[in-house]
Amino acid sequence: MYHRKVICMIELVSFILGFIIYVIIGTIILYAGATFTGVDEVSVKKAAIISVLTTIVFLAFSWLPFFGLIIIFLAVMILVRLVFLTTWTKGFIIAIIYVIINVLINQFLVLLLM
């Protein structure tokens, strides 16, 4: 009985740690992408807000092979458009950058943990 509680605590801590890592990496990616595309009034706070929301979407839909990527991409594009108050084209470019780098990092971590 005690071992199950320990395993549950380890899983919870690893989930929270993974979420924090994804938020930090996502914030860096979004901030760099927004700076690269020339978005006005870029801030780390706005990038962090988008990153938290997109990480939740990423964790919820990343198990779907192709349809999940489309949902994640659309969520990132819409959130970037609404929070950064930018054009759809810049939101599209930032969403492409975010999704590609996030998928690559995810695949790298899977290979690293095997």
Q: Could you state, in order of their start, the residue ranges of all structural domains in the chain?
A: 2-113
pLDDT at 78: 93
pLDDT at 111: 83
Closest by alpha carbon to 75, among 60, 63, 86?
60
| Token pair of 21 as six digits | 């890592």
pLDDT at 114: 66
pLDDT at 15: 85
**Within the chain, which residues score under 70 in pLDDT?**
1-2, 114
Could you give the dihedral angle defined by the CA atoms of residues 12, 13, 17 and 20, in that order, rounded to the nearest 10 degrees?
A: 60
Question: In sequence order, which ranges of 1-87 are alpha helices (DSSP H)?
Answer: 2-37, 44-61, 67-84
pTM above 0.95, yes or no: no
| Token pair of 98 as six digits | 């975010």
Pairwise CA distance, residues 8 & 110, whole Å: 21
pLDDT at 110: 77
